[in-house]
């Protein structure tokens, strides 16, 4: 998809493609690097240059970005005495090692502008000011070290730190947000340019949350305002939405990412955002000389109105008439002419007389995205992943409840907690099981029978499961499947963050009249056995080879149970339209096409208005062959694959009254 997306970005008037560098993708295991396939950073940057564009490389290596663990590989967590993003020697050693690895890779391929390459900017760290106070006096020491370390790598192009007002010279402080023309105090030194590293075109979406819509007019206003205040670099975050394939999204973030961007998740133009911003970019570029080197004056046109004027040495003139009033239109006098300014709008006067662009007037016809069913996915087969029973001979056994992330080490979303409980207190009692977890999901089984599930949310990761259960006399298996939906992506002291089950107890109350006897049994310090991941994951039954390792049965309504794998085959739809799979009838799980993960699905997690946060899941055409494509779904909760279908994704112009 790279060439077409970059082409459309260029057609939209962009000069620069900005990207993060993903440490956990490129060094998934300590000292083992991966720059192949769609992780080929060098090829990506060379392609950008071949299209005539520049690049901005945000190395981080902490990136946040709603990306799993903020981009950190989990092996970093297990380094002795480490403290992330702190003036901590172990962390600084590995951060410098990876940053140097990336910089040297860029140099070896001649990719910095100082070498004739496309990279004009690099970023070290990421929004550190948000957490710096938590580290007290060590925070500023770390900032100074990170800046000095980066500059010492001698790239020949500037370094920047976003949301770091006190970025040490010569590192440039940059702004992130929706309205940096209003919120940014500006460069902290007169020899630094004004940079906006993230202009949020929407906001990321979480499961259980609704999409955020930001209008083309609002984005255009913010860009024009920033340029009018001497801004020289604006990056859209995101200009192209994307897909969090695999398990790459952070906690509770949907598989679809920034789909409301000017280029949507599928790489298609979203109007009117794309077109309106294209017109703005053209207007600004037409007057680049006075904007970059002209004399700047500004004066008030009213209480919430102002003019900012750029006049070149050869008589060029461009003016920005700004109405910052969010509620009222304004009629202003500028150089003895009257101008009507809509509320919260900017009119750009190309010769300081005639309006060449108005941020509030959209001339582009909106378009609408639609989905058309190309084929219903039929002939499903099923395989039930076994519920784990307690065994004192398990590979992991502990006399307490282990923390989820430290145990799985990000090898799987899933961790089994199992123990054995001897029920002998009162056979007439009505036992109730209470499970508390720090997130994100728990599925409960008693004697291999599914009892129920509970989950947290992006606002409250923790959860409580409480339900009456049936126990037999003697030993009973309590099997709890804990599941994360991505690791955290930010915050101070990330290495201390926790997830998973933290308390389990059974309460037994007598069912007899006048018998008030009861007891509560804390199982938290019983002997627990653990298993990381599902058996199907271990066997890789989502791949064509692995699918042959288990016995599949025809899927019927009776097989729609928790922890079920489903298998079917599809043919690639004709044409070139993007393809998606409609998983609205499923509950929660993960999906693969020909062994390639297309991400987590969770249609059963509804928004407050009763809608699924995401039902359509992108299948890149490069994942498909013409015929016989293997589709694998792992369903945690019992969805119905009979209603799954393949859809073509198209856009068409909307009719405007």
Catalytic residues: 127, 198
Bridge partners (DSSP) of residue 472 are none
Angstrom distance (rounded) from CA 432 to CA 390: 20
Computed from CA positions of residues 4, 7, 9, 15, in that sequence, does the dihedral angle turn out positive or negative?
positive
Structure tokens belonging to residue 299: 């004066």
Those residues with Cβ within 8 angstroms of residue 169's Cβ, 6 or more apart along the chain or in another chain = 189
Among candidate residues 491, 389, 487, the one with its CA nearest the CA of residue 438: 487
**Count of CA atoms in the C-beta half-sphere (13 A) of 409:** 9
CA distance 320 to 358: 10
Q: Return the structure tokens found at 243.
A: 């897909």
List the structure tokens of 428: 């007439």
494: three-class secondary structure by DSSP: helix
What is the gyration radius of the CA atoms in the chain, in angstroms?
28
Rounded to 10°, the helix 216-228/273-285 angle is: 20
Residue 631 and residue 592 in contact, taking contact as beta carbons nearer than 8 Å: yes
Q: Which residues pair with 638 in a beta bridge?
A: none
| DSSP character string of 428-439 | T-EEEEEEEESS
CA distance linking residue 637 with residue 464, whole number of Å: 17
Of 31, 9, 646, residue with least CA distance to 377 = 646
Spatial CB neighbours of 494, under 8 Å, sequence gap ≥ 6: 69, 70, 72, 84, 85, 488
H or E stretch including 257? strand 256-257
Q: What is the 3-state secondary structure (H, E, C) of 46-93?
A: HHHHHCCCEEEEEEECCCCCCEHHHHCCHHHHHCCCCCCCCCCHHHHH
Q: Whose structure tokens read 């129920």?
A: 452
- Sign of the alpha-carbon torsion through 335, 338, 343, 346: negative
Alpha-carbon distances of 530 from 124, 411, 534, rounded to whole Å: 39, 14, 11
Beta strand pairing call for 54-60 and 16-20 = parallel
> What is the spatial distance between Cα 609 and Cα 562, in angstroms, rounded to a whole number?
26
Helices 41-50 and 2-11, interaxial angle, to 10°?
A: 40
Cα separations in angstroms, 449 against 125, 386, 389: 48, 11, 11
Distance of CA 27 to the CA centre of its chain: 19
Three-state DSSP class for residue 462: coil
Strands 159-162, 172-177: pairing is: parallel
Ordered DSSP codes for 508-529:
EE--STT---EEEEE-TTS-EE
């Amino acid at each position: 998809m790279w060439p077409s997306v970059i082409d459309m970005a260029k057609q939209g008037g962009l000069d620069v493609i900005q990207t993060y560098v993903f440490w956990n993708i490129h060094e998934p295991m300590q000292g083992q690097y991966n720059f192949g396939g769609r992780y080929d950073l060098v090829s990506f940057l060379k392609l950008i240059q071949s299209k005539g564009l520049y690049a901005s490389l945000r190395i981080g290596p902490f990136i946040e970005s709603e990306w799993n663990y903020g981009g950190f590989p989990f092996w970093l967590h297990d380094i002795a005495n480490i403290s992330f993003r702190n003036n901590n020697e172990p962390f600084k050693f590995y951060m410098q090692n990876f940053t140097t690895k990336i910089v040297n890779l860029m140099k070896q391929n001649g990719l910095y502008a100082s070498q004739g390459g496309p990279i004009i900017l690099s970023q070290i760290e990421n929004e550190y000011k948000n957490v710096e106070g938590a580290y007290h006096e060590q925070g500023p020491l770390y900032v100074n070290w990170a800046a000095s370390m980066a500059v010492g790598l001698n790239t020949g192009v500037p370094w920047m730190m976003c949301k770091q007002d006190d970025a040490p010279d010569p590192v440039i402080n940059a702004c992130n947000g929706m309205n940096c023309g209003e919120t940014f105090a500006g460069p902290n030194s007169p020899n630094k340019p004004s940079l906006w590293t993230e202009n949020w075109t929407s906001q990321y979406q979480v499961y259980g949350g609704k999409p955020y819509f930001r209008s083309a007019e609002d984005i255009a206003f913010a860009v024009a305002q920033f340029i009018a205040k001497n801004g020289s670099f604006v990056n859209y975050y995101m200009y192209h939405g994307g897909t969090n394939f695999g398990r790459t999204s952070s906690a509770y973030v949907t598989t679809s990412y920034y789909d409301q961007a000017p280029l949507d998740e599928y790489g298609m133009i979203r109007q009117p955002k794309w077109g309106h911003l294209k017109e703005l970019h053209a207007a600004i570029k037409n007057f680049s000389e006075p904007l970059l080197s002209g004399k700047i004056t500004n004066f008030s046109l009213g209480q919430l109105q102002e003019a900012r004027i750029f006049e070149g040495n050869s008589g060029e003139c461009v003016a920005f008439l700004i109405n910052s009033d969010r509620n009222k239109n304004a009629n202003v006098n500028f150089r003895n002419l009257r101008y009507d300014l809509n509320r919260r709008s900017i009119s750009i006067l190309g010769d300081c007389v005639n309006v060449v662009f108005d941020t509030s007037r959209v001339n582009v016809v909106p378009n609408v995205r639609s989905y058309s069913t190309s084929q219903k996915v039929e002939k499903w087969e099923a395989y039930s992943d076994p519920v784990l029973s307690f065994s004192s001979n398990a590979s992991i056994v502990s006399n307490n409840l282990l923390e989820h992330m430290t145990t799985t080490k990000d090898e799987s979303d899933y961790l089994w907690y199992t123990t054995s409980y001897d029920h002998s207190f009162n056979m007439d009692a009505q036992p109730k099981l209470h499970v508390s977890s720090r997130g994100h999901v728990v599925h409960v089984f008693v004697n291999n029978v599914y009892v129920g599930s509970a989950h947290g949310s992006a606002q409250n990761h923790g959860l409580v499961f409480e339900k009456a259960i049936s126990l037999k006399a003697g030993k009973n298996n309590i099997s709890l499947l804990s599941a994360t939906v991505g690791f955290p992506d930010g915050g101070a002291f990330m290495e201390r963050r926790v997830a998973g089950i933290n308390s389990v107890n059974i309460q037994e109350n007598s069912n007899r009249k006048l018998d008030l006897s009861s007891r509560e049994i804390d199982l938290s310090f019983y002997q627990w056995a653990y298993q990381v991941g599902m058996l199907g994951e271990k066997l890789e039954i989502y791949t064509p080879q692995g699918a042959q390792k288990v016995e599949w049965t025809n899927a019927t309504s009776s097989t729609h149970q928790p922890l079920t794998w489903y298998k079917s085959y599809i043919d690639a739809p004709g044409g070139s339209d993007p393809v998606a799979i409609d998983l609205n009838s499923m509950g929660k799980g993960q999906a693969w096409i020909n062994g390639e993960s297309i991400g987590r699905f969770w249609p059963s997690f509804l928004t407050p208005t009763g809608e699924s946060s995401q039902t359509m899941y992108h299948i890149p055409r490069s994942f498909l062959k013409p015929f016989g494509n293997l589709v694998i779904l792992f369903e945690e909760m019992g969805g119905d694959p009979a209603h799954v279908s393949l859809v073509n994704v198209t856009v068409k112009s909307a009719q405007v009254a």
